[in-house]
Amino acid sequence: MWALSLSPHEVEAVQALTHEIASEYKSVEDPQLIRRATIYAHELPRRVRQFLTEFKLLEPSDGVCLISGYPIDNDRIGKTPAHWKWKLDAETSLEEQIMFLLFGCLLGDPFAWATQQDGYLMHDVLPIKDNQYDQLGSGSEQTLFWHTEDAFHPHRADYLGLMCMRNPEGVATTLGAPDISRLSQEHLDVLFEPRYLIKPDESHSEKNESDQHKEARQNNGNGELNSAYEHIRKLNTAPPPVPMLFGPRQTPYLRLDPYFTTPLDDEAGAALNALAQSVDENIQEVALQPGDCIFIDNYRIVHGRKAFTARYDGTDRWLKRLNLTRDLRKLQSARTGSEMRVIV
């Protein structure tokens, strides 16, 4: 994994910058802040800018980078919320969120899904009691099987950012990629063909939107939002056939979420099993520490999470999450909302 540890001097520089920005904005969801974030990111320490820019340009095969060394004030950020919908820490962790946003803006543009976490750009990943046994980031008792983020959708993120707020139990994030050289040519041929159906995961389901979001959608008849959920329902009942691999044959990009994937025939199933076995043999476990920011190349690396027992007492594992695209313009036909960054 590419890694950069901030020096004390760099931490001071980052804090001075985020402190100044936090005095002007109340939330990272503020459209003015989002519009200017890339410009602010130009003021991050040069070593950080160089590190993230090279990670983007060189596309290393290990596909994950880590920036560590930022001290999180465990008391100031407050308790791990019981749900993402309240944004109780919008101000108490604002400086940390701004840092994470600026790092992300060196890799791409943040975007949101109208159907996921009420369309917020910055997500919270934390255990929710009602999702305890679900195959969701907000679940806990089930292993979250490895996947590329939003594999079902053509506009999925190029990079997935995760910032650790707390993780006292050391719950592991899983990361991995297949060893393509160990796959047969026949299996590779099949994996490059559109012989698989990938359904949306449940984070895009209407049952996981907040009551306020649902009420607002129903009351104002927001056509775009309703059609976004309609689109998810269609992808659930009739997902289009897609390949598991694409791009260069020797170093292919991945589009993988086996838990939600149905192969169209036995040959496709056997090829996917071989691919999945190769990933399983290469899975690494990383227990993120407070202040760690990782950026996962969502075209090269799968991620998941080990099962754990949540306490729901304000001390559980808590991450922030950002979806980043290298080109907002490729989302043009599908976006709306805050600065045209919300996929509907």
CA torsion sign for 324, 35, 24, 30 is: negative
> In terms of CB distance, is 56 or 156 closer to Fe ion?
156
- The bridge status of strand 342-343 relative to strand 109-113 is parallel
CA separation for the pair 199, 241 (Å, rounded): 10
> In terms of CB distance, is 45 or 108 closer to Fe ion?
108
> In terms of CB distance, is 149 or 316 closer to Fe ion?
149
Residue whose C-alpha is closest to residue 272's, from 195, 167, 172: 195
Q: Among all chains, which residue has been given the structure tokens 């592991």?
A: 172
Q: By beta-carbon distance, which residue lies closest to Fe ion? A: 149
Least Å distance, CB 257 to Fe ion, is: 9
Retrieve residue 5's tokens. 């540890």
Residue whose C-alpha is closest to residue 83's, from 173, 214, 210, 229: 210
Least Å distance, CB 215 to Fe ion, is: 28
Least Å distance, CB 137 to Fe ion, is: 6
Least Å distance, CB 184 to Fe ion, is: 29
Least Å distance, CB 293 to Fe ion, is: 16
Residues that bind Fe ion (CB under 5 A): 149
Q: What is the DSSP string of 138-181?
A: T--SS-EEEE-TTTTSTT--SEEEEEEEE-TT-PPEEEE---GG
> In terms of CB distance, is 190 or 301 closer to Fe ion?
301
> In terms of CB distance, is 118 or 149 closer to Fe ion?
149
**For residue 211, what are the contacts with CB-CB under 8 A and spacing of at least 6?**
none
DSSP letter (8 states) at residue 249: S
Least Å distance, CB 338 to Fe ion, is: 22
CB atoms within 10 A of CB 28: 26
Element (H, E) at 5: strand 2-5
Least Å distance, CB 148 to Fe ion, is: 8
Residue whose C-alpha is closest to residue 108's, from 324, 328, 341, 335: 324
> In terms of CB distance, is 80 or 203 closer to Fe ion?
203
Q: Among all chains, which residue has been given the structure tokens 């043999």?
A: 281
> In terms of CB distance, is 109 or 149 closer to Fe ion?
149
Type of residue numbered 338: S
Least Å distance, CB 85 to Fe ion, is: 19
- Residues 290, 72: contact at Cβ < 8 Å? yes
Q: CA triplet 140, 145, 151: central angle to 5 degrees?
A: 120
> In terms of CB distance, is 67 or 157 closer to Fe ion?
157
Least Å distance, CB 23 to Fe ion, is: 33
Retrieve residue 316's tokens. 């559980």
> In terms of CB distance, is 187 or 305 closer to Fe ion?
305
